Structure 1
Amino acid sequence: MILGLYEAHLPVSNLQRAIAYYKKLGLEFSHQHEDKLAFFWIEKDKSWLGLWESEKVELDYHPSIRHIAFEVSLAELKNSAAWLNDRDSPPREAFGFEPVEPFVMAHDGMAHAKIHFNDPDGNSLELICKLPNPLNITKRMYLSEWEKMNEGKKVNKSGRREMQND
Structure 2
Amino acid sequence: MELTENITAFHHVSIKAQDFDTTISFYQKLGFEIVHDWSLPDFNLEKCAMLYNKNINYYLEICDKNSDIPTQGRKRKNDDEYIENALLHICFTVKNAEEARKKAIEYGAKDLSEGVFQLDLINKTKSVTVKNSLVYSPNGEVIEFLENVNFD
Instruction: Decide: shared fold, TM above 0.5.
Output: yes
Task: Judge conservation of contact 2:117–2:132 (CA < 8 Å) in 1.
Answer: yes
CA 1:57 to 1:48, structure 2 compared with 1: closer, same or farther past 3 Å?
farther
Q: Deviations over 1:112-136 (max 9, x none)?
A: 3211111122111111134358xxx
Q: Point out 4+ residue stretches in structure 1 off by more than 6 angstroms.
A: none
Aligned pairs, number: 127
**1:104 and 2:126 are equivalent in the alignment:** no
Unaligned runs of 5+ in 1: 94-98, 134-166
| Residue in structure 2 matching 1:13, options 8, 11, 18 | 18
Gap regions ≥5 residues in structure 2: 40-45, 67-74
Give the aligned partner of residue 105 of structure 2: 85
- Over residues 69-111 of structure 1, what are the superposed CA-to-partner deviations in whole Å (9 max), with x where a residue is unaligned? 1222xx3324223322332324313xxxxx1224335223333
Match of 2:32 in 1: 27
Q: What residue is the counterpart of 1:117 in the other structure?
A: 135
Cα deviation digits, residues 7-33 of structure 1 (max 9, x gap):
111111221221111112222222211
Identity fraction in percent: 15
- CA RMSD across the alignment: 2.9
- With normalisation by structure 1, the TM-score equals 0.61
Does residue 37 (structure 1) correspond to residue 55 (structure 2)? The answer is no
- The counterpart of 1:61, out of the listed 71, 83, 89, is 83
